[in-house]
Amino acid sequence: MSSDDWTSPIKEILYARIDSLTESELRAAISKDSKNFIMSILSDCIPKIANIGRNDSKGIAAFAESFLHYLLTNALIPSQRKITVNGVCVDIVIPDARVLASNPQKTLILFFVRDDDISVIRTSLEQLKKIQPASENIWLVSKNTHNMPNRTYTVDANRNFSDILEDIRGFASSGPSSKFRIFKVS
């Protein structure tokens, strides 16, 4: 089964919920009330993902990555998704691989934990540190807490994943992309 076949039902749940809102509701939620918007989406979608048996670490990572990609795109935060940098797979990099190569201190890597095995997680983090030496700029998104030294966002209706968009905005506003703003025209 390909990755797309496996994640398709998860994405369908996410986009069915997003599509239930009007464009103006979405725009307001993402720009003014992202924490409550994210919490609302999580509380609606996580139980549905559990109902289809995909609420393991891999399924939750697929959901969180798709949702965050949607949020970043609509919040007009520059990012690249699913890229390879010097042989290392990167889930999401903000703002992009070019800045990562030239100024890693101004770059954020988001790592979506798909496995509960601590040794697998540590190995992945070591690989990411080869391209992002500022380990404080490698953030984890996970179903569970793993007591890693990196900032970790736990995906649950009652946990801190709802803070991630505001935290990314804070990071991005201090970086090189803060000088170049894109405004969405309706």
Instruction: Report if pTM > 0.85.
Output: yes
Convert the pLDDT of each residue in 135-177 to its tens digit.
999 999 999 888 899 999 999 756 689 999 999 999 988 755 4
The predicted pLDDT at position 21 comes to 94
The answer, yes or no, to whether residue 4 has pLDDT greater than 60, is no
| Secondary structure of the chain as H, E, C letters | CCHHHHHHHHHHHHHHHHHCCCHHHHHHHHHHCHHHHHHHHHHHHHHHHHHCCCCCHHHHHHHHHHHHHHHHHHCCCCCEEEEEECCEEEEEEECCHHHHHHCHHHCEEEEECCCCCHHHHHHHHHHHHHHCCCHHHEEEEECCCCCCCCCEEECCCCCHHHHHHHHHHHHHHCCHHHHCCCCCCC
- Tell me which range, 1-5, 86-90, 174-178, is most confidently predicted by mean pLDDT: 86-90
% of the chain at pLDDT higher than 90? 81
Under a CB-based contact definition with an 8 Å cutoff, are residues 184 and 76 in contact?
yes
Distance separating alpha carbons of residues 78 and 95, to the nearest angstrom: 5
The predicted pLDDT at position 179 comes to 42
Convert the pLDDT of each residue in 47-71 to its tens digit.
999 999 999 999 999 999 999 999 9
Annotate 163-179 with b (16+ C-beta within 10 A) or e (fewer): ebbeebbebbeebbbee
The predicted pLDDT at position 156 comes to 74
The answer, yes or no, to whether residue 89 has pLDDT greater than 90, is yes
Distance separating alpha carbons of residues 161 and 182, to the nearest angstrom: 25
The answer, yes or no, to whether residue 23 has pLDDT greater than 60, is yes
Distance separating alpha carbons of residues 91 and 107, to the nearest angstrom: 13
Question: What top-level class would CATH report for the domain 3-179?
Answer: alpha beta
Under a CB-based contact definition with an 8 Å cutoff, are residues 141 and 164 in contact?
yes
Average pLDDT over residues 79-86: 96
